[in-house]
Structures are given as C-alpha cells and as structure tokens.
Amino acid sequence: MTDYGDAEERCAWCGRRFAQSPGPGRKRRYCRPSHRQRAYEARALAKTHALAEGQVLMAAERLDAIRDLLYRIEAAMDDVDADLASDDSPDGTRQALWHLYRACAEVRTISLEPLAVGTRR
Ligand SMILES: [Zn+2]
C-alpha cells in the first residue's frame, strides 16, 4: 500500500492519489502536468457545449463501467447484510469483509476522467 501521509491529494482530473510536494508554494491540484492540460481542455470543451461551471462531458462507455462497478459493490453489501444477519461470528464477519473487499478491489484500477478536446474515450 502506498502511504501518501498527511500530504495526500487527489488529482482534480483523474482522481488518483498523489503526494503533495512539501514546502511553501501553491498546492498542486493535478498529479501530472498533462492532467492539468487535459482539465483545461475539458473546461474549454464544456464551454463550447454550453455546460454550466463544474460540468464535464464523459464517455458513456466509461460511465457505464462505473455504474456496473457501483452495482456490484451494492450487491456485495446486500450479501454482507444477509450473511451477517445469519452469522456474525468472527469467522463469518471475516468472510463477509473479504467478499466486500473483492467486490471493491476494482475501484483501485478505475479512473473518472472527463473528456478533453480530441479525446476518443
Ligand atoms: Zn491525474
């Protein structure tokens, strides 16, 4: 597990965690310069589509993948509720936790990137 300490920040573009540089100066909002550029392009694209401040365009395929993941997590939570209702022993609780953990594991690989100018997905 990566430890970002107290200086952990989430990229305003991709949502991934990154370490904030210590010391004085303005805090970074993006994990890398290319993500700052893509955020700028996404704001420009949103403006050309007359979107309100803070709104972005996202590929439907990516949104569907995120919805599917959320559905699987919700289903796993329902399983855990049912499992713990019938067996809340330490072993049953451990099994329920692992079931939920496995359902959530994909969260670490998925990213929520809006569309930027010239983006295909
Ligand atoms: Zn990023």
Whole-number Å distance, alpha carbon 54 to ligand 1 midpoint, is 17
Which three-class secondary structure state does DSSP give residue 38? Answer: helix
Domain ranges of the chain: 5-108
pTM above 0.85, yes or no: no
Going residue by residue through the chain, which has 121 residues, state the pLDDT in tens, using 9 for 90 and above.
555 555 678 898 888 889 887 778 888 999 999 999 999 998 888 889 899 888 888 888 988 999 999 999 999 999 999 999 999 999 999 999 999 999 999 988 887 777 776 655 4
Q: DSSP code of 6?
A: G
Residue 20 is predicted with a pLDDT of 85
pLDDT at 1: 52
Quote the pLDDT of residue 116.
74
67 within 8 A of 106, measured Cβ to Cβ: no
CA 20–ligand 1 middle distance (angstroms): 12
The alpha carbon of 15 and the centre of ligand 1 are apart by a number of angstroms equal to 6
Which DSSP helix (H) or strand (E) runs through 10? strand 8-10
